[in-house]
Amino acid sequence: MIELTELRKEFAGVTALDGITLSVAEGEIHGIVGRSGAGKSTLIRCLTGLERSTSGSASIDGVDITALSGARLRESRRSIGMVFQHANLLDSRTALENVEHPLQVAGMKRAERRSRALELLDLVGLTDRADNHPAQLSGGQQQRVGIARALASEPKILLCDEPTSALDTQTTGQILGLIASLRDRLGITVLIITHEMSVVREICDAATLLENGAVTQTGSLSAILADPGSPLAKDLVPLPHVPHDPDRFTLEVALAGTPLTTVFDLAARAGAPIASVESGTLETIGGSQVGRLRITCTDLRTRDDLETALRSGGIHVEAAA
Ligand SMILES: Nc1ncnc2c1ncn2[C@@H]1O[C@H](COP(=O)(O)OP(=O)(O)OP(=O)(O)O)[C@@H](O)[C@H]1O
Ligand SMILES: [Mg+2]
């Protein structure tokens, strides 16, 4: 659905995108994560044609946006709905009128756009707030109106730039739930820009890590988690730090689908019983149980045997940081 090939964007002296190659399948919820300044917003702006890329291509449904201009660019933009950190609603208009606004601009007749806007408000669960002004709505409700407005042109793609960064944890969960249900009901493709790993964990099917304008990792969540040493996997399943004890040795093990009991069994069979699990997390992401643990043993001589045994059992092992 979305194909970026060697996409570059340079501003006077600054390389914001350093050759991005990335593909997003139809109906997928794809997270783009990266630190501030990594190039996330620039990527979205190039994809919508708001910013002209320096080179490379960005195609949607096989049409290269970077080659379009004028009316054809405007038309292709209609296949993309945009959601931002702040909904930026028009204060003087009601929720309903805000959703109607893009339809009005597009020249739709009053009765038709009104009924369409009501349907959209219903879709985001805000029918009872249709006549409220933005000042009467919570941040989460305003964001719902923003999402309804983004869906007005019946886009095939929803681009969300930090849609939950201004919201509390509970409201974030509700908005992410809404985005996931819209994908399920409408079949739209969602590209969600975020610096929050919890967003990826909660709704993404696939994710891309952007660093200094370049892709350092991209793939389905299951592929990412099956590579437990990878930067995204470590961020998705972080391990709390514990102080180092020189009389013991500590290993970090990552599990992607292997039960925890297997770790203990393998260690016992290798003659290196585990003294303690110092810290760790085990959770279900994308339907499979994954985790990272810091395990400690007291007999330093057993270290190599333990590492070999765990690796032979398909468990990712590395020295504790
Ligand atoms: N119009 C511009 N002119 C010059 N440099 C720019 C412009 N827009 C972005 N940049 C630079 O490009 C780089 C990427 O910026 P971008 O806004 O895409 O980052 P981001 O990942 O969205 O960051 P954040 O998480 O803070 O929103 C930064 O170094 C930024 O300073
Ligand atoms: Mg940004």
Residues 81 and 135 in one domain: yes
Q: What is the pLDDT of residue 56?
A: 95
User: What's the average model confidence in pLDDT over 153-161?
Assistant: 94
Cα 252 from Cα 249, distance rounded (Å) = 10
Ligand nearest the Cα of residue 84 is: 2
Q: Is 42 in the pocket of ligand 1 (CB under 6 A)?
A: yes
Q: Lowest mean pLDDT: which of 68-72, 111-115, 232-236, 283-287?
A: 283-287
Three-state secondary structure call for residue 151: coil
Residues 78 and 189 in one domain: yes
Q: Which of the listed residues 210, 231, 252 is the one where a domain comes to its end?
A: 231
Residue of minimum CA distance from atom 26 in ligand 1 = 36
Please, what's the b/e burial string for 158-191 (b: 16 or more CB within 10 A of its CB; e: otherwise)?
A: bbbbbbbebbeeebbbbbbebbbebbeeeebbbb
Q: 154: domain CATH number?
A: 3.40.50.300
Residues 165 and 198 in one domain: yes
Residues 81 and 118 in one domain: yes
Residues 201 and 168 in one domain: yes
Asked if residue 226 has pLDDT above 90, the reply is no
Total structural domains within the chain: 2
Residues 145 and 201 in one domain: yes
Q: 268: domain CATH number?
A: 3.30.70.260
| Residues 6+ positions from 13 with CB-CB distance below 8 Å | none
Domain housing 227: 2-231
Query: Which of 10, 11, 165, 199 for a ligand 1 pocket mutation test, highest count of atoms within 8 Å of Cβ?
Result: 11
Q: Lowest mean pLDDT: which of 25-29, 137-141, 281-285, 296-300?
A: 281-285
Residues 221 and 248 in one domain: no
Q: Lowest mean pLDDT: which of 88-92, 207-211, 293-297?
A: 293-297
Residue of minimum CA distance from atom 29 in ligand 1 = 37
Q: What is the pLDDT of residues 69-125, one digit of tens each?
A: 888 888 888 889 999 999 999 999 999 999 999 999 989 999 999 999 999 999 999
Ligand nearest the Cα of residue 37 is: 1
Q: Which atom of ligand 1 is nearest to the CA of 193?
A: 22
Q: Strand pairing partners for 11?
A: 14
Residues 17 and 66 in one domain: yes
Residue of minimum CA distance from atom 7 in ligand 1 = 11
pTM, 2 dp:
0.86
State the distance from the centre of ligand 2 to the C-alpha of 40, rounded, in angstroms: 5
Q: Strand pairing partners for 232?
A: none
Residue of minimum CA distance from atom 25 in ligand 1 = 36
pLDDT band at residue 248 using 50, 70 and 90 as cut-offs: confident
Q: Which atom of ligand 1 is nearest to the CA of 38?
A: 21
List the 276-285 sheet strands across, edge first: 276-285, 288-297, 249-256, 316-319
Tell how strand 316-319 and strand 249-256 pair up.
antiparallel
Three-state secondary structure call for residue 193: strand
Asked if residue 242 has pLDDT above 70, the reply is no
Give, in order, the Cα–Cα distances in Å from 249 to each of 272, 303, 313.
11, 7, 20
Cα 153 from Cα 80, distance rounded (Å) = 8
Residues 282 and 163 in one domain: no
Three-state secondary structure call for residue 162: coil
Instruction: Pick 182 or 278 by higher pLDDT.
Output: 182
SS3 content of the chain, % helix, strand, coil (to 5): 40, 30, 35
Residues 190 and 41 in one domain: yes
Ligand nearest the Cα of residue 160 is: 2
Residues 225 and 121 in one domain: yes
Q: What is the pLDDT of residue 321?
A: 66
Residues 296 and 214 in one domain: no
Q: Which of the listed residues 196, 214, 231 is the one where a domain comes to its end?
A: 231
Q: Which of the listed residues 183, 198, 231 is the one where a domain comes to its end?
A: 231
Exposed/middle/buried for residue 103 (C-beta within 10 Å: 0-12, 13-18, 19+): buried
Q: Is 14 in the pocket of ligand 1 (CB under 6 A)?
A: yes
